[in-house]
Amino acid sequence: MGSDELQLSGTAQLMIGDHALGIAATRLRPPAPPTRLVPRTRLADVLDAGLAAAVPLLLVSAPAGSGKTTMLAAWAARSDRPVAWLQIEAGDSDPASFWGSLIAAVSRCRPGIASLAGPLVAGSQGDDRVIVPALVNSIAGSDDPLIVVIDDYYLIESASVQRGMERLIDLCPTQLTLVVSTRLDPPFRLGRMRVRNRIIEVRADRLRFETGEATALLGAAGATLSPERLDDLCSRTEGWAAGLVLAGLSLERASDPDGFIDAFRGDDQLVVSYLSDELLDAMSAGDRHRLLETAVLDHLTGPLIDAVTGSGDGTGWLADIASRNQLIVRLDSTGEWFRHHHLLRDLLLLEARRTLPAQLPELHRRAADWFATNGDRHQAVVHRFAAGDIAGAIQLLYLVGPDLLGRGQIRKLRGYLEQAGEAAATDSACALGWGWCEYLSSHYESARRWLDIALDVAPPTFDPVIASPLEINLALGSGDITSALESARRATAAGSLSQRPAELATAVGAAFTWAGMYDEASAALTIAVARSTAEQRLTAHVLALIHVAINEAENGDQIAANTAAVEAVATAEAFGLADYHGVAPAFAIRGRTASDPDAARSDVTHALELARRSTTDLGLAYVLTTYADVLLEQGDDSGTALIVEARTRLDRCVDPGIAARYLARVESRHHLATPVVDTARSTTVQLTERELAVLRYLPTKLTQRDISAALYVSMNTVKTHTNAIFRKLDVSDRKSAVQAARDRHLL
């Protein structure tokens, strides 16, 4: 359909799976309960009431250290309903990452969701307008209830994700309950939800520990205190869970408990003073140093700690310190993976930057080495950048970049490239990555600049065919079939199209299709269909089928076109991509070749709705023309306005190829313009050598004056030759002449 449909997209894998390291899996289940788990029945009752009332959103909003995660994990553990859990990380602000992660979490309870909704993520780059309805329909397809807990939601910064989540809440089926845990209220229309009884809220005041709960939380230290002293402690901490935990740790060592309580302040300042003055100072020098070194890590496991700190007993040390400190959170039932409590890590990082500044880059380098060795290149990239090792990070991006593009995680890739800074402009792979990011964001001029940079700085060993899909897509996006065709021919001349990624064959097939080169397009698209099937490149597979349909339609085989369009739509629906704008031509051709007038109108109407989401003139003009053709065939004169819009769109294209030819045919058939000759089937035309020389410049942006300068002839001579070309090809304008010449293999 044009350019933004021909994306470098890979298998729509789940963004998070049970990674070999075990890190990803820990994000998809509640953390293990702490050593002293305090039952909080009164809070569980509030949440249970929300379930009973079928309220779609349970919002748990309170500051850090309020006990949100622990309370929800305990509630989830005792629930008789299946609970999907997602622990948000900073990278989930990328829409594709967020929705892929959410689908991965839900699929642990509903395995079928992965195959139904998962493919949407990469194909749509995390477009909530596409993903949310599919996710809702998938969940609504079962009568079984489901709870989805999203923890640390405050880390989400994407407006797209926020919009999608609110839409998910609005469309929430009765089987689904969403639980959002956050430090800050999400930017949802909470007032409207309250009025409509679609939200239950648990805030800081409800999360405060009462005296009885505080006694259990304090453990042995609390058992020695009188009820009055416990009341005092709860009052001073205002029931803040983190404050009580820290107080309990201090009480275990306090020689004068009453004096400690009298002096104790349970506010945020306590965290700073306690962690710096008491917790770290009370540790042995070795433990303190190792704990500070681990501050560079988001997650903790024994072998990783050994690699970063140079120790040999990381597993045992981690288990021991976690048993003594509730601020080390166990993430699995096996005791393999842990993390620092957020408050603890914040302070450890501050202290590490103060006391170990020169050592931090080396710690990050060691972490990067360990992650790379153990197969987690994404974490390795993060630590390479943190270490200031830009060159090392760029080397990893050679593999990570295509993976992120394939998963539709454009925002995350853009973030890495931004960290690369000026170095990205000196590396062909990074520059090409920037080109894809800009292209997929519809910033075509910027994408072209980055593509040029990639080719300019490419080393002698660089394979230029790697850049061909982006070259072709950019050319199609600007309606420049000649340039797309040149790139496609270079790619096919290089050979081994059947050995290249499916996206290349799909792009090449698209270029030949829009150029009206039926045989060449058929050959490339046959390879594209086979390669995309073998590689499970879902979006590429659908796009290849769509261009098969366009190719057959423009070759005049309406039966074959209908068959291909039906297959393309069915495949898109099976992959959950029926609402993706790239599928618009398939619906248009299915409608154009349908025998039932109502079905035809329905298909072309849907096609135009999808196509208007696109930002390219070429594809939209093609669908506009198809819609107008169907309407006019049915005697509906409103199609005329669509023809005018299509003509306006194509007039902006340098060389619109078959789209212009198709529009001219429709205009002629419905008596909206001078009748045209079917140039694809007309007799051979003989052009003189000088006319052929002028013809070769017609697909370019050069004016007649520019052409005259290039050929060293007068402008009147160019005009004469141009008029002769028009007359011999039986056309009236430059763009029609280009396609007519191409149809006759003169270009």
pLDDT tens digits, 230-251? 888 887 776 777 777 777 777 7
3-class SS shares of the chain: helix, strand, coil, % to 5:
65, 5, 30
Q: Are 134 and 575 in contact (CB under 8 A)?
A: no
pLDDT tens digits, 448-464? 999 999 999 999 988 88
* Closest C-alpha to 410, from 9, 730, 119: 9
Q: Label residue 424 left, alpha or beta by phi (over 0 means left) and psi (-120 to 50 means alpha).
A: alpha
**Range 712-737 average pLDDT:** 79
- Of 42 and 577, the structure prediction assigns the larger pLDDT to 42
> According to the model, what pLDDT value does residue 14 have?
29
> According to the model, what pLDDT value does residue 15 have?
30
Q: Is the pLDDT assigned to residue 432 strictly greater than 90?
A: yes
Structure tokens at 381: 């990239």
- Of 242 and 369, the structure prediction assigns the larger pLDDT to 369
> How many domains is the chain partitioned into structurally?
5
Residue 359 CB: number of other CB atoms within 10 A?
A: 14
> According to the model, what pLDDT value does residue 224 have?
75
Lowest mean pLDDT among 3-17, 171-185, 267-281, 459-473: 3-17
pLDDT tens digits, 379-411? 999 999 999 999 999 999 998 988 888 777 889
| Residue ending a domain, choose from 456, 481, 516 | 456
Q: How confident is the model at residue 277 (pLDDT cuts 50, 70, 90)?
A: low
Same domain, 621 and 485: yes
Same domain, 370 and 304: yes
Same domain, 612 and 736: no
pLDDT tens digits, 494-507? 888 988 888 899 99
Top-ranked range on mean pLDDT: pick from 168-172, 441-445, 703-707? 168-172
Distance of CA 118 to the CA centre of its chain: 11
Same domain, 441 and 497: no
The answer to the question of residue 287 being in a domain is: no
Q: Read off the CATH number of the domain in which 91 is found.
A: 3.40.50.300
Q: How confident is the model at residue 9 (pLDDT cuts 50, 70, 90)?
A: very low
Same domain, 202 and 97: yes
The answer to the question of residue 11 being in a domain is: no
> According to the model, what pLDDT value does residue 269 have?
54
Q: How confident is the model at residue 582 (pLDDT cuts 50, 70, 90)?
A: confident
Q: Is the pLDDT assigned to residue 12 strictly greater than 50?
A: no
> According to the model, what pLDDT value does residue 1 have?
40
- The average confidence (pLDDT) of the chain is 85
**Range 639-644 average pLDDT:** 93
> According to the model, what pLDDT value does residue 26 have?
82
Instruction: Tell me 254's DSSP state.
Output: -
pTM of the model: 0.73
> According to the model, what pLDDT value does residue 685 have?
72
Q: How confident is the model at residue 10 (pLDDT cuts 50, 70, 90)?
A: very low
Q: Is the pLDDT assigned to residue 70 strictly greater than 80?
A: yes
Q: Are 223 and 248 in contact (CB under 8 A)?
A: no
Instruction: Round to whole Å and give the CA distance between 505 and 503.
Output: 6
> According to the model, what pLDDT value does residue 122 have?
72
Instruction: Tell me 300's DSSP state.
Output: B
Instruction: Round to whole Å and give the CA distance between 673 and 76.
Output: 68
The answer to the question of residue 303 being in a domain is: yes
Rg (the chain; Cα; Å): 32
* Closest C-alpha to 409, from 96, 651, 192: 96
The answer to the question of residue 529 being in a domain is: yes
- Of 277 and 55, the structure prediction assigns the larger pLDDT to 55
Residue indicated by tokens 């990050």: 364
Same domain, 560 and 660: yes
Instruction: Round to whole Å and give the CA distance between 182 and 186.
Output: 8
Q: Is the pLDDT assigned to residue 521 strictly greater than 90?
A: yes
pLDDT tens digits, 673-718? 755 555 555 556 788 877 777 777 777 777 888 777 777 778 778 7
**Range 573-594 average pLDDT:** 86
Residue 640 CB: number of other CB atoms within 10 A?
A: 15
Helix (H) or strand (E) segment spanning residue 383: helix 377-386
The answer to the question of residue 613 being in a domain is: yes
Is the four-CA dihedral 568, 570, 572, 574 of positive or negative sign? negative
Residue 346 CB: number of other CB atoms within 10 A?
A: 16
Q: Which domain holds residue 220?
A: 211-282
Helix (H) or strand (E) segment spanning residue 61: strand 57-61
Residue 111 CB: number of other CB atoms within 10 A?
A: 9
The answer to the question of residue 699 being in a domain is: yes
**Is residue 428 helix, strand or coil?**
helix
Same domain, 267 and 298: no
Top-ranked range on mean pLDDT: pick from 17-21, 162-166, 688-692? 162-166
| Residue ending a domain, choose from 224, 250, 282 | 282
The answer to the question of residue 677 being in a domain is: no
Q: Label residue 158 left, alpha or beta by phi (over 0 means left) and psi (-120 to 50 means alpha).
A: beta
Instruction: Tell me 441's DSSP state.
Output: T
Q: Is the pLDDT assigned to residue 273 strictly greater than 70?
A: no
Structure tokens at 696: 């070769």
| Residue ending a domain, choose from 226, 247, 282 | 282
What phi, psi does 88 have (nearest 5°)?
-75, 140
Residue indicated by tokens 């009431």: 49
The answer to the question of residue 648 being in a domain is: yes
pLDDT tens digits, 623-636? 999 999 999 999 99
Q: Is the pLDDT assigned to residue 271 strictly greater than 70?
A: no
Q: Are 410 and 96 in contact (CB under 8 A)?
A: yes
* Closest C-alpha to 16, from 82, 85, 102: 102
Instruction: Round to whole Å and give the CA distance between 92 and 256.
Output: 47
Give me the DSSP letters along 681-719: TSPP----HHHHHHHTTTTSS--HHHHHHHHTS-HHHHH
Structure tokens at 566: 């039906």
Same domain, 436 and 352: yes
Q: Is the pLDDT assigned to residue 8 strictly greater than 90?
A: no
Instruction: Round to whole Å and give the CA distance between 505 and 499.
Output: 10
Q: Are 567 and 545 in contact (CB under 8 A)?
A: yes
Q: Is the pLDDT assigned to residue 431 strictly greater than 90?
A: yes
Same domain, 258 and 367: no
Same domain, 335 and 407: yes
Q: Is the pLDDT assigned to residue 199 strictly greater than 90?
A: yes
Q: Is the pLDDT assigned to residue 18 strictly greater than 50?
A: no
Same domain, 541 and 475: yes
**Range 60-66 average pLDDT:** 84
Q: How confident is the model at residue 270 (pLDDT cuts 50, 70, 90)?
A: low
Instruction: Round to whole Å and give the CA distance between 185 and 208.
Output: 18
Lowest mean pLDDT among 120-134, 231-245, 294-308: 231-245
Q: Read off the CATH number of the domain in which 716 is found.
A: 1.10.10.10
Give me the DSSP letters along 103-164: HHHHHTT-THHHHHHHHHHHHHTS-HHHHHHHHHHHHHTS-S-EEEEEESGGG---HHHHHH
Same domain, 600 and 497: yes
Percent of the chain with pLDDT over 70: 91
Residue type, 658: I
Q: Is the pLDDT assigned to residue 730 strictly greater than 90?
A: no
Instruction: Tell me 638's DSSP state.
Output: T
